[in-house]
Amino acid sequence: MNPRLPNSFRSGPDERGHFGKFGGRFVAETLMPLILDLEKAYAVAKADPAFHAEMKGYLKDYVGRPSPLYFAERLTEHLGGAKIYLKREELNHTGSHKVNNVLGQIMVARRMGKKRIIAETGAGQHGVATATLCARFGLECIVYMGAVDVARQAPNVFRMEMLGAKVIPVQSGTRTLKDAMNEALRDWVTNVHNTFYCIGTVAGPHPYPMMVRDFQSVIGDETKKQMQEAEGRLPDSLVACIGGGSNAMGLFHPFLDDPSVEIFGVEAAGHGLTQLHAASIAGGRPGVLHGNRTYLLMDDDGQIQDAHSISAGLDYPGIGPEHSWLHETGRVKYLSATDDEALDAFMLLSRLEGIPPALEPAHAIAKVKELAPQRPKDHLMVVNLSGRGDKDIPQIAEILKGRKQ
């Protein structure tokens, strides 16, 4: 046994929000009292059976859970190895896993009496989920989105506005997800008294990485039960894409203490790891940004570098701190897929299964194409299909048109 390994991979974070050396609360003093309030409110909610009962009701009847665990028969045949199951998070209301977390945070916000909700979004899936639940509960909703992403994810911008949210294009910095997060933090600092910041991934200051993970763990909990029903045992491997890493953490966390389960996270390698990419673990190192210590893309002076991915949802120069810890302990293996590999995987799944994945989980499918053929036919592999591809169709059509020319 490696003496550095913990007894459990599921006991983190500690009371200061640390997963090993990662995580923490690196925020301005103005926000610190709010974060402590949130930590308290969430602890009370977590211990309250009424909170869980309410969540369960909405997850079932509003979100449409449980999401199916679907045997991808033709993809399995095509790859000729492991038996591949898709966890169909794209079938949730709003079209992705993001709604699981937003529902939880909106429930907490309501308990705290907050009437104004702010969010950052990359691909727009978190923004859409937030706009949706704000509409449902009659809350004011402001979504910060990088101006570059506003342009490439137009359908989601329209959807958010239709739902009554105000979408603010962020022009600062690189005009993508990290800048949207900076701008959301600036809003929060300015409107501390009535505002709840609904973070979309397992990053940010404690308690966000833990809280978002808890809300997303419904994915892994269901998968465990569904696989037991389908195959009578645990899966042998799990694969999920990672930007900040919330869909991956939601699938992985319930399985972390099952040593027989191999776990793979897939980062976005963009144009390739030696060029512009968004793979923080493969190409970054530990640093401090957006309230936590984690792997980040940066230069030798500690300046944050531009990320690049074809997928707006993965276009972030960091990763959730718990992933950084799972990487350093070796419990999860982190791989990466390029823009082109993701596009090919998008087409493959569309053609073989009639399921166009979002460009984000297309990165996971891209690695399944490599992992599945290397494994025996009785190997059970679960892929988190975290979102549907509808939002990406205009962008993909453009790219394909460009290729034909």
Partner 1 sequence: MTTRIDTRFAELAKQGRSAFVTYVMAGDPDLKTSLDIVKALPKAGADVIELGIPFTDPMADGPSIQAAGLRALKGGMTLKKTLELVRGFRKDDNVTPLVLMGYYNPIYIYGVDKFLADARTAGVDGLIIVDLPPEEDDELCIPALKAGLNFIRLATPTTDDKRLPAVLANTSGFVYYVSIAGITGAAAADSKVVGEAVARIKRHTRLPICVGFGIRTPEAARAIAEKADGSVVGTALVDALQGSLDAEGRATPKTVTAVADLVAALAQGVRGAKQAAE
Residues numbered 304-323 forming contacts with partner 1, rule: CB under 8 A: 304
Single-letter amino acid, residue 25: R
Find, among 219, 292, 231, the residue nearest to 17 by Cα.
292
Q: Are 114 and 108 in contact (CB under 8 A)?
A: no
Structure tokens belonging to residue 67: 């999401």
Single-letter amino acid, residue 274: T
**From the CB of 372, what's the least distance to partner 1, in Å?**
39
Among 20, 25, 122, 196, binds partner 1 (CB under 8 A): 25
Is 386 marked active-site? Answer: yes
Structure tokens belonging to residue 76: 């399995």
Return the number of the residue (191 or 350) whose C-beta is nearest partner 1. 191
Single-letter amino acid, residue 260: S
**From the CB of 182, what's the least distance to partner 1, in Å?**
5
Q: Are 216 and 101 in contact (CB under 8 A)?
A: yes
Q: Residues 87, 98, 114, 224: which is the catalytic one?
A: 98
Q: Residues 89, 360, 386, 391: which is the catalytic one?
A: 386
Return the number of the residue (29 or 378) whose C-beta is nearest partner 1. 29
**From the CB of 183, what's the least distance to partner 1, in Å?**
9
Among 1, 2, 3, 29, binds partner 1 (CB under 8 A): 29
In terms of DSSP bridges, do strands 291-296 and 166-170 run parallel, antiparallel, or are they unpaired? Answer: unpaired
Return the number of the residue (44 or 288) whose C-beta is nearest partner 1. 288
Return the number of the residue (24 or 320) whose C-beta is nearest partner 1. 24
Rounded to whole angstroms, how far apart are CA atoms 236 and 224?
11
Residues numbered 37-96 forming contacts with partner 1, rule: CB under 8 A: none
Is 229 marked active-site? Answer: no
Segment interacting with partner 1 (CB under 8 A) among 25-33, 141-149, 325-333, 347-355: 25-33
Among 32, 43, 162, 399, binds partner 1 (CB under 8 A): 32
**From the CB of 131, what's the least distance to partner 1, in Å?**
24
Return the number of the residue (32 or 399) whose C-beta is nearest partner 1. 32
Residues numbered 153-212 forming contacts with partner 1, rule: CB under 8 A: 172-173, 178-179, 182, 185-186, 189-193
**From the CB of 204, what's the least distance to partner 1, in Å?**
11
For position 229 contacting partner 1 by CB under 8 A, the verdict is no
For position 302 contacting partner 1 by CB under 8 A, the verdict is yes
Residues numbered 260-299 forming contacts with partner 1, rule: CB under 8 A: 287-291, 296, 298
Q: Which residue has the tokens 């169909």?
A: 88
Segment interacting with partner 1 (CB under 8 A) among 30-38, 51-59, 269-277, 372-380: 30-38
Q: Distances from the Cα of 258 to the Cαs of 18, 219, 233, 235, 249, in angstroms?
A: 22, 16, 12, 10, 15
Among 5, 11, 14, 30, binds partner 1 (CB under 8 A): 30
Q: Residues 120, 183, 267, 353: which is the catalytic one?
A: 120
Among 16, 401, 403, 404, binds partner 1 (CB under 8 A): 16
Neighbouring CB atoms inside 10 A of 390's CB total 13
Return the number of the residue (5 or 288) whose C-beta is nearest partner 1. 288
For position 113 contacting partner 1 by CB under 8 A, the verdict is no
> Which residues 6+ apart lie within 8 Å of 382 measured at CB?
69, 85, 86, 87, 223, 227, 235, 237, 238, 239, 251
Find, among 52, 21, 48, 17, the residue nearest to 35 by Cα.
17
Return the number of the residue (304 or 365) whose C-beta is nearest partner 1. 304
Total residues in contact with partner 1, by rule CB under 8 A:
36
Length of the chain measured in residues: 405
Q: Which residues pair with 289 in a beta bridge?
A: 292
Q: What is the contact surface with partner 1 in residues (CB under 8 A)?
A: 16, 24-34, 172-173, 178-179, 182, 185-186, 189-193, 287-291, 296, 298, 300-304
* Residues labelled catalytic: 98, 120, 386
